[in-house]
C-alpha cells in the first residue's frame, strides 16, 4: 500500500536506492512495527509538545492511555520496555549474517 508507494517514489525520484530504502525501513520504523502499530509508534516517538504537529489528535492520545499496551504502565516505563526490545532485536539481527 502506502508504504510501498512512498518507497517507490523515493527510489524513482533519485533520493535513495532500493537498498538504501530497504535498510532505512528494516533498521528504523520496521523494528518498531514489529513491536506495535502506527499509533503506538507515533505516540512513543513523539514528545508531548509535538503531538499536534505530527497529527496525533487529542482523542487518539487520550485513548492511548487505555490501550492494552499501557497496562497501567507510565509513558517512561513503556519507552524503557520498547528500547529494551529494540536492543534485543538488534542483537539478534547482528548475529544472523
> Total domain count for the chain?
2
Examine residue 31 and state whether it is found in any structural domain, yes or no: no
Examine residue 85 and state whether it is found in any structural domain, yes or no: yes
Rounded percentage of the chain residues whose pLDDT exceeds 90 = 44
Q: Does 60 share its domain with 88?
A: yes
pLDDT in the model for residue 73: 83
Q: Does 13 share its domain with 57?
A: no
Which pLDDT band, with edges at 50, 70 and 90, does 67 fall under?
Answer: confident
Query: Mind listing the pLDDT tens digit for each residue in 32-53?
Result: 999 988 888 877 777 665 665 6
Q: Does 9 share its domain with 52?
A: no
Residue 21 · residue 7 · CB < 8 Å: yes
Examine residue 21 and state whether it is found in any structural domain, yes or no: yes
- Stretch 49-67: mean pLDDT: 65
Which residues span the domain enclosing 67?
36-94
pTM of the entire predicted model: 0.69
- Stretch 70-83: mean pLDDT: 86
pLDDT in the model for residue 55: 61
Residue 87 · residue 81 · CB < 8 Å: no
Amino acid at each position: 500500500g502506502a508504504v510501498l508507494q512512498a518507497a517507490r517514489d523515493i527510489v524513482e525520484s533519485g533520493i535513495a536506492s532500493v537498498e538504501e530504502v530497504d535498510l532505512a525501513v528494516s533498521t528504523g520504523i520496521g523494528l518498531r512495527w514489529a513491536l506495535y502499530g502506527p499509533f503506538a509508534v507515533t505516540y512513543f516517538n513523539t514528545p508531548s509538545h509535538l503531538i499536534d504537529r505530527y497529527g496525533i489528535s487529542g482523542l487518539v492520545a487520550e485513548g492511548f492511555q487505555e490501550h492494552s499496551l499501557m497496562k497501567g504502565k507510565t509513558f517512561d516505563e513503556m519507552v524503557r520496555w520498547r528500547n529494551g526490545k529494540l536492543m534485543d532485536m538488534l542483537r539478534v539481527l547482528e548475529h544472523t549474517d
